[in-house]
Amino acid sequence: MLSREDNELLCRVGPGTPMGALMRQYWVPAALSSELPEPEGSPLRVRLLGEDLIAYRTASGAIGLMQNACPHRGASLFYGRNEGEGLRCVYHGWKFDPTGRCVDLPSEPPESNFREKVRATAYPCVERGGLIWTYMGPRTTPPPMPNLEPTMSADAKIQIYQRECNWMQALEGDIDTGHTVFLHLGSVDPEEAPPGSWAQYALSKRAPKYEVVETDFGVMYGAGRPAESDSTYWRIANFLFPFYAMVPTGVLGLEVRVRAWIPMDDGHTLAMTIGLGQAPPSRTAGRQTVGPPETLPNTTDWYGRFRCVAAANNDYLIDRKAQKTTSYTGIDAIFLQDQAVTESMGEVYDRTQEHLGTSDAMVIRTRKRLIDAAKALRDEGRVPPGVDDPHVYETRSGGVVLPEDLNWIEATTNLRRANVKHPGLTRDVLGGIPAV
């Protein structure tokens, strides 16, 4: 368990908080490029790290991201006119460019220099891999962007959903491989899984042995289970500063995917999955639906983006009859199963009440790494891991079968490298239930 003080430090991300300060050291995905499809189009409300922001695309195609409240008297710039290379408040006509500089102040005398004294909080933005990234930190010159392999390709496939809970309890689900054989595959018998598949190995020994190591990018774990004679099936996955996870599904060496758990605020999180290759169609795997859950149409309010139809207010459309017969949870899609359990903990889970076991080794180490880094930044001004070295993010995750006498870290060095082709590998190496 955590102390109440450390739990607060871990979870709170608003301006002035230690974890919020840590996250503002990094470039943060703020929106999809497709959410601002045209120059001088409609502005977009963006709730990010506890701040209300307005995003817009200028006539030249540049992205602006600035405070919601006009610096004059607080009217919302969401209602502003997107004109040329700036956003004009409709209340008194004050206009701001993407840097936050006031470029027109028509309510003041022409000879006044008052506009030179007025500035809106604005954050620099760049576009890469179909995403709008922003830097909300203190540096005049931002650090380099992370070399996350799937985000550096124009062919990246992006799925994004909103989760109504704190970012950390959502991320913890991604770095907890132990729940897979219960929450997602609890109703599947090992004999039902195809021989030699990852599902057979995982279901035959639901409690793996865990090894956790710290890395330059964050934390990595290996979860080992017996495979064939004299071999071990390893599920290898990563936490990467400040809020990324690489899950262990798929074949190590071929899986190019990362998920960002982006805090909108303390109680709302965007789950953004970025991957290379064709997105899998909806299908049934181990009696579970693999594929994107149905979402509601986006609205313009602060929490109106990327909401699932199945939610707490309808009990995630749980089917109790199916739970008795064919499904461990009665909740259809794998993503929704994760959403139900993490949201059920409340907006911000009180970790002083928990009781952790050996299967929580990765969760424990990740929390410690984050808390230590936030305190080091707050108390010593120490730059967090990965901020100034984008190359530490060049890694992969996935599953692999190794001879049992091999060290899994040493044996997978090349398979875990990003931007490396492995022509001898195929996606059916571990066969059976497809990756999710």
Helix, strand, or coil here: 380?
helix
Instruction: Give the pLDDT of residue 382.
Output: 98
Residues 383, 215: Cα–Cα separation, whole Å:
16
Instruction: Give the pLDDT of residue 432.
Output: 38
Residues 436, 427: Cα–Cα separation, whole Å:
13
Residues 364, 366: Cα–Cα separation, whole Å:
6
Instruction: Give the pLDDT of residue 187.
Output: 82
Q: Tell the burial category of 316 from Cβ atoms under 10 Å away from its Cβ (0-12, 13-18, 19+).
A: buried
Encoded tokens for 131:
């995403």
Q: Tell the burial category of 433 from Cβ atoms under 10 Å away from its Cβ (0-12, 13-18, 19+).
A: buried
* C-alpha distances out from residue 165 to 264, 329, 331, Å: 10, 20, 18
Length of the chain: 436
Q: Which amino acid is at 417?
A: R
Encoded tokens for 223:
């979860």
Instruction: Give the pLDDT of residue 423.
Output: 87
Spell out the residues 6+ positions from residue 416 whose beta carbon is closer than 8 angstroms to its own. 236, 252, 253, 395, 396, 397
Phi, psi of 19, deg, nearest 5: -75, -35
β-pairing, 51-57 with 288-290? Answer: unpaired
Beta bridge partners, 333, equal 289
Residues 167, 181: Cα–Cα separation, whole Å:
23
Instruction: Give the pLDDT of residue 199.
Output: 80
Contact 151, 274 (CB under 8 A): yes
Q: Which of 433, 352, 428 is nearest to 189 (CA)?
A: 433
- SS3 of 53-88: the string is EEEEECCCCCEEEEECECCCCCCEHHHCEEECCEEE
Q: At CA 176, angle to CA 168 and CA 366, rounded to 5?
A: 50
Q: Is the pTM of this model over 0.85?
A: yes
Helix, strand, or coil here: 169?
helix
β-pairing, 268-275 with 51-57? Answer: unpaired
Phi, psi of 253, deg, nearest 5: 105, -25
Instruction: Give the pLDDT of residue 260.
Output: 98
Instruction: Give the pLDDT of residue 35.
Output: 98
Give the neighbor-by-neighbor strand order of the sheet with 102-104.
81-83, 86-88, 95-96, 102-104
Instruction: Give the pLDDT of residue 290.
Output: 57
- 223-258 in b/e form (b: 16+ CB < 10 A) is bbbebeeeebbbbbbbbbbbbbbbbbbbbbbbbbbb
Q: Consecutive sets of 10 residues in the chain, 436 residues long: mean pLDDT of each?
A: 96 98 98 98 98 98 98 97 98 98 94 92 97 98 98 93 97 90 84 80 86 98 91 95 95 95 98 78 48 92 98 96 92 93 96 94 97 98 98 96 94 96 75 35
Beta bridge partners, 310, equal none
